[in-house]
A and B are shown apart, each in its own frame.
Chain A
Amino acid sequence: MGRKHRTKLVFCMAAIIGSSPATALAMHISEGILPAPWAALWFALSIPFLYWGLRDLRLRSETSPQIKPLVGLVGAAVFIISCMPIPVPTAGTCSHPCGTGLAAILIGPALTVVVTSVALVLQALFLAHGGLTTLGADTFSMGVAGAFVGYGVFRLARRLGAGWVIAAFLAGLFSDWATYSITSLELASALHGDGSFVHLLITILLAFVPTQVPLGVLEGFLCVGAYQFIRTRRPELLSTLALGGST
């Protein structure tokens, strides 16, 4: 990576620290909630995807130098989107979109894991948003599940003949829902104790429904809007889509 691009990346990521003036309002699992073995398990499951993403970045930057500033920009977007509290009047609570569906269709799911983990580290350190011990679980739910589901849905919809608007909308929608579903799974598996795992999982999922169903729809529209902007202004950037996650 050239010094110029490296500086841009570092600045873009560092500069958005503290972009949200509010306390954490999110799907992020806070510090100390997960017992150590479960926290370690989610770290172990996330690390291979992170390695895959870093390798993907190195390989793709050899043939496409513009990928690094684009990754920096997408990382900044994920950071901001994933800590932006949005009031949901149907539930009387706040939550946030994730941005990983959009990131996945722009830079590929593996690179999305990388930018998500960077965003989550900054949020955990400076915004009390998530935690360092729960970083693996948060990376897995938002980075891995959100990105791969969003990307898979987008590719599947396009293969089935859907227009890009529908495909982008579905990517945003399902990446959001996948993130919260996996968060529920992580919580239920770690916290069910002597109770029923399935019962707790369903209970947590249902608790997310009033907020996340409308917010998922909003994320779908967000995904369409941002994709439209890139498609209009820099359609050549979308050529990276073909390589996304395949290397």
Chain B
Amino acid sequence: MKNVAIACLTVVVLALGLYLGLKSYLGEWSGVDETVIEKFAEAANRPPAEPLINTDQGDLLLFFFLVAGAAGGFVGGYYFRELFPPAVKG
């Protein structure tokens, strides 16, 4: 019971800290690829090229996400017991 209380408290504190951090910071939360890698690449006249398949258009990424999530969830659930069988008692 004590461990559960400590775990709950930790989760609440972390969630609160994250919420306040996100709320108070005015940055755009860009990735380090943009803020670091692309910044130096552009300074050296080597800007990134267009990706071979650009899935960041409309709902295309959402489509991939849903298809992958549905298939992955099914396969993962189907084989979960094989990879992680329940502990044998006794």
Contacts and interface: CB of A to CB of B under 8 A. Distances in A.
On whether the two chains bind one another, the answer is yes
Interface of A: 8, 11-12, 14-21, 23-35, 69-70, 73, 76, 85, 87, 89, 92-95, 124-128, 131-132, 183, 187, 190-193, 200, 203-204, 207-208, 211-212, 233-234
A241 B31 CA distance: 34
Interface residues of B, number: 54
Nearest to A193: B44
A27 B72 contact: no
Interface in B63-90: 63-69, 71-72, 74-76, 79, 82-85, 87
B55 A8 contact: no
A17 to B, nearest CB: 5
Nearest to A28: B33
Contact of B84 (A27, A187, A234): A234
Nearest to A128: B51
Interface of B: 17-18, 21-22, 25-41, 43-44, 46-56, 61-69, 71-72, 74-76, 79, 82-85, 87
Given A12-B75, A125-B52, A208-B36, 15 more contacts: A8-B79, A15-B76, A18-B65, A18-B68, A20-B65, A26-B33, A27-B32, A32-B48, A35-B46, A69-B83, A87-B18, A92-B25, A94-B31, A204-B36, A207-B35
Contact of A211 (B32, B47, B52, B63): B32
Most chain B C-beta atoms within 10 Å of own C-beta, residue among A26, A76, A92, A203:
A92
A157 to B, nearest CB: 25
A48 to B, nearest CB: 26
Contacts of B22: 87, 89
